[in-house]
Structure 1
Amino acid sequence: FWWLAALSVVIGFTFSPLLPLGTTITVHECKARELDYGRVRLWGSLAFILASYGAGWVLDGTSTEWIVWMLFVAGIVNFAITTRMPDPQTDRPLRSGSSLMYLLRKPVFLIYLACIGFAQGAHGTYYAFASVHWESAGYSHEMIGVFWSIGVIAEIVLFAVAGRFVRGRHPGILFAIGAGSGILRWIVLGTTDNLWLIVLVQPLHAMTFGITHLAAVSFIARAIPQQLATSAQSLMATLSMGVFLGSSIWISGPLYEQFGSQVYYLMAVFSAISMGFAIVLTRTWRGEDQTFCN
């Protein structure tokens, strides 16, 4: 156990920063080369589907020991790709001192963090217990895989076509759309196990995750100069996918044990809180570019 725990800590420290750093570089290059960020990002979602089904296909004919070797090969490929990534050049830092503390002293940025934090935290029960609950409701592993795939495919479609819609839209409006979709989605999943209702709301993953992600990236691209972008992405990823989502999953455990799928109602409350902060964001930030230059 302790060897695996130590290895997990090392992997966590080295692998986790790849997401915010990669997103920062991608956003910078999309702006510099006038590319549609959504159409670039969709390849990550597509790779998720291919890796999931590919790994399942391999494991059906082999054993679980192959998981380690697949991760090893993926790590080598990932290393090779990162050595070929562009190195965006930035000017001198905008100010001395900690960029993180500078950002955390900005009320608008804190409102933004609350929007994305509660929006991502609202997925805690879904990520941790959706498969467990669907299996207990009598659905096969194949059908559960279909449920997950519907959500990710909808996310891919959104990333492919959302460029024109997102461009120029206030991130607060996008956050509100994602939060409203979350309220509907989590209430339905907490209320019923009906096949067709699950199929009907699963495409809302494109809104609860996809549009929320685009809103988060759009805010950083528009409001924060390149010199602070990496710090902003790191804070966003650490708090939303780490603190908020991790706490939500931890809370969902004992609540699911006692209340079952009704714990989704708490996720609907998180989405409602995110919507509240989204409304505040639209009223306190007018959409100025490079808001934090001063």
Structure 2
Amino acid sequence: DAVGLLGALSAAAGLVGAPLWGAAADRFANSRMVLPAAAGGAALAAGLLALVHGPLLIVLAVGLMSLAMGGVSPILDARALETVTDDRNRYGRFRVWGSASFVVAAVFTGWLIDRAGIHALLFVLITGLAATAIVGLGLRSTNLVPSLPRFEGIKSVIRSPELAPFLVAALFIWSADSAINGFFSIRLGEIGAPASLVGISWALGAVVEIPLMVAFPALGARFGAERLLLAAAVLFVVRAIAVAVLRDPLLVTLTMALHGGAFALSLVGGVTYVSRHAPQGAAATAQGVLSGTTFGLAAILGPGLGGLLAPSLGLPGMFGVAALAGIAGVGALSVALRSRSAGFQRESSARSVNDGAK
């Protein structure tokens, strides 16, 4: 229960922190200090977590760390996208380093914990965050457009006719996936999977992500980023149905390949979609709102509702409900993308008429 509460606290802090740090990065776009402040603050809070004892101090340290860490990813995403403005699908080749480093860090951290104890986990985290803060000193926005005052950037993203429906769809899709992931390891144990298979399942998902992120520019050029987003949402649903009906430990483990593919296409596709439709002066803010939605709010709603349903429905039944939520997300995403396509066609027609009149 305590671990679950800390996880919910972490997600809630990220939900608040990601948009606020994104807004700060947009407002102080000519400053090099916003990313170092977020990463450095998270490193300090992680150091505090390593030193404190007692539930209240631990809760405080976790909350501060998550609040600060919430800003790292949106700012890095916004800066990466500024370097590929001619083809934003190339963002996947930047993001792939995150998945690759996850695999390496997971293996290395596990090896270190076996030899030095659980506090080695915080040592690796603090080192990584400190390195991010130092590297961040060399990063500054190259897109110096006028920023929006105070919280107007967040409001403009939430009210955007292109982004608001997309964020609702993303909330359904990622909440359903979070509900499954929150209980996936428990399900493997329930059907008799050995502990080694549990670890392999999560590594499998990360390994599948890497080639898809590398190939995303080519896939986007061939099929379109919007179609890849829909394909990802469908893969999430297929995986949800599979884990609901399968009982063989090996087959359930292999469903993580579906999750890895869906995660890669949805994450890269979502970031690039949001970057294309972000209001002017709110590029990092828009990424913060997306991050807060997918890794904050969805991470609260999915496992929370899943935990309420699992005792009465069982894990397979709860996974089935998650599949239904995912199907609703596919429908909502289809509507959001179709509305955007129709709006784009109207804008193009209007420009053609105006050009002809001239």
- Unaligned runs of at least 5 residues, structure 2: 1-54, 348-358
Q: Which runs of 5+ in 1 are unaligned?
A: none
SS at match of 2:282: helix
Structure 2 residue 77 is matched with structure 1 residue 27 = no
Correspondence 1:252 to 2:306: yes
Q: Which residue pairs with 2:281 in the alignment? A: 227
C-alpha RMSD of the superposition: 2.5
Which protein shows a greater Rg? Answer: 2
Quick one: distance in 2 between partners of 1:54 and 1:124?
25
Residues 185-227 of structure 1: per-residue CA shift (max 9 Å, x gap): 1111011121342244321123321111122122123223552
- Matched with 1:52 is 106
Instruction: Note closer, same or farther for the CA distance 1:56–1:227 as it changes in structure 2 (3 Å cut).
Output: same
- Residues 199 and 223 (structure 1), Cα distance of their counterparts in 2 relative to 1, 3 Å cut: same
Q: Who is 1:123 aligned against? A: 177
Q: Name the counterpart of 1:174.
A: 228
Q: Specify whether residues 109 and 72 from structure 1 end up closer, same or farther in structure 2 by C-alpha distance, changes over 3 A only.
A: closer
Q: Which moved more, 1:119-128 or 1:51-60?
A: 119-128
1:215 to 269, 277, 291: 269
Q: Name the residue aligned to 1:281.
A: 336
Aligned counterparts of 1:266 and 1:182: Cα–Cα separation in 2? 13
TM-score by length of 1: 0.89
**Partners of 2:217 and 2:164 in 1: how far apart?**
26
- By how many angstroms is 1:175 displaced? 2.6
Q: Within 2, Cα distance between the matches of 1:57 and 1:11?
A: 24
Q: How far 1:181 moved relative to its partner? A: 1.0
User: 1:45, 1:81 → 2: CA distance?
Assistant: 19
Q: Distance in 1 between matches of 2:245 and 2:209?
A: 24
CA–CA separation in structure 2 for the residues paired with 1:239 and 1:123: 13
Contact 1:151 1:203 in 2 (8 A): yes
Equivalent residue number for residue 264 of structure 1: 319
One of 208, 213, 216 as aligned partner of 1:162: 216
> Do the aligned residues in 1 keep the contact of 2:90 with 2:216 (CA within 8 Å)?
no
Determine helix, strand or coil for the equivalent of 2:304.
helix
Shift of residue 170 of structure 1?
A: 4.8
Offset, 1:140: 1.8
What residue is the counterpart of 1:238 in the other structure? Answer: 292
Q: Deviation of residue 144 (structure 1)? A: 1.0
The match for 1:150 is: 204
Q: Does the Cα contact within 8 Å between 1:17 and 1:234 map onto a contact in 2?
A: yes
Q: Distance in 1 between matches of 2:221 and 2:280?
A: 19
1:69 Cα offset (Å): 2.4
Letter in 2 for 1:99: G
Runs of 4+ displaced beyond 6 Å: 32-35, 94-97
Alpha-carbon displacement from aligned partner over 1:132-184 (angstroms, at most 9, x marks no partner): 22123222221111111111111111101121111475544223211211111
